[in-house]
Amino acid sequence: MILKASSGLEAFLLSYFQGVPVNYLSNITTTQRPWLLLALSALGLELSALYFQYILDLQPCIMCVYQRLAIISIFSAGIIGSVAAQNLFARIIAFGLWGTGAIWGLIIALEHVEAQSNSGSFFFSCDIIPNFPTWAPLHEWIPFLFEATGDCGEISWQFLDYSMPQWMIVVYGVYTAAFVVVLLNRFVIARKP
């Protein structure tokens, strides 16, 4: 299929994805496996968080709890997409959850890194009780997952000189980039002429 660019963004995307099967990227969301891979990657991260909390005794702070919720959003997107990949409405919901979880998680992780770097500042503060809606107090309903008992400014774990929130920036960056590439391909490149 030969695609012709009608705008600068389309020209950039067409040149960037030259040689990549356009139909593959466009149709990837209509099959079960990619959504299942998304769900399994998020489940692995959630289980890792529980391992860090309950086995390594690293207590989650309020921002960690919000990042967990973002990962659960991505996991939910993967489950919905894998169960109903052929259903347009389900895919729209899955895309919404994926994008919301990835972008919101990235924002929270960036704020968390900033909080860690300014933890000695007089203006630094870290909430203790999550700010969930009154109709969904997740920290009361599922405290083993959403109760914040740690300090946002404390760096208690590092790997390759990156703290946990710095690694989460990498994770959410990958999720966000994948979301943007798939979504833009779906709307711009794979559009039928």
Residues annotated catalytic, as ranges? 61, 64, 68, 126, 152
- Do residues 160 and 167 make contact, with C-beta atoms less than 8 angstroms apart? no
Contact 81, 35 (CB under 8 A): yes
- d(Cα 186, Cα 189) in Å, to the nearest integer? 6
| CB distance 91 to 84 below 8 Å | yes
Residue-wise over 57-85: b if at least 16 C-beta within 10 A, else e? ebebbbbbbbbbbbbbbbbbbbbbbbebb
Half-sphere exposure of 140 (CA within 13 A, CB side): 8
